[in-house]
Amino acid sequence: MKTFFTQFFTWWNGQTLGTRFHTWRHGTKVGTDELGNTYYEGGKDSEGRTRRWVIYNGYSEASAIPSGWHGWMHHRTDVAPSSEDYKPREWEKGHKPNLTGSAAAYRPRGSVLTAQERPRVTGDYDAWTPGS
């Protein structure tokens, strides 16, 4: 029962009922990535291209799509990483979750959310004042 309510009332947690219905009617499974996200294609978009979408494993976070699948999702390539021997390049970074709003979020020196003091102005800066 929780799954039904989760899908009915939230868009950020897996798939909605509309996505489930669209996947059932038009979707062809293309593959799954190492994070458990499942990729589909089917139907046509407004530009006549094949529509492609992802059903996230857990919370919907676009940065959780690996680079190979990102290229396929955005029609940069017609070959899905599951169809070929895709190997990420050494410079491609792995997924890091968005930490905004969490205790691990970036907080620069001087932020009201950190105990550090704000850096002093060094003198190479002149504040603007109206009428000057």
> What is the mean predicted confidence (pLDDT) over 25-33?
83
- Of the pLDDT bands very low, low, confident and very high (cuts 50, 70, 90), residue 57 is confident
Give the contacts of 8 (CB within 8 A, at least 6 positions apart): 16, 17
The predicted model scores a pTM of 0.63
Residue 68: phi and psi, rounded to 5, are -60, -45
Please tell me the predicted confidence (pLDDT) of residue 55: 85
Q: H helices within 1-132, ranges in order? A: 2-9, 17-26, 67-73
Please tell me the predicted confidence (pLDDT) of residue 17: 59
- Of the pLDDT bands very low, low, confident and very high (cuts 50, 70, 90), residue 28 is confident
By three-state DSSP, how is residue 88 classified?
coil
Q: Is there a contact between 66 and 88 (Cβ–Cβ < 8 Å)?
A: yes
pLDDT > 70 in the chain, percent: 80
Convert the pLDDT of each residue in 83-132 to its tens digit.
Answer: 777 777 888 777 777 888 888 888 887 787 777 777 777 777 777 889 86
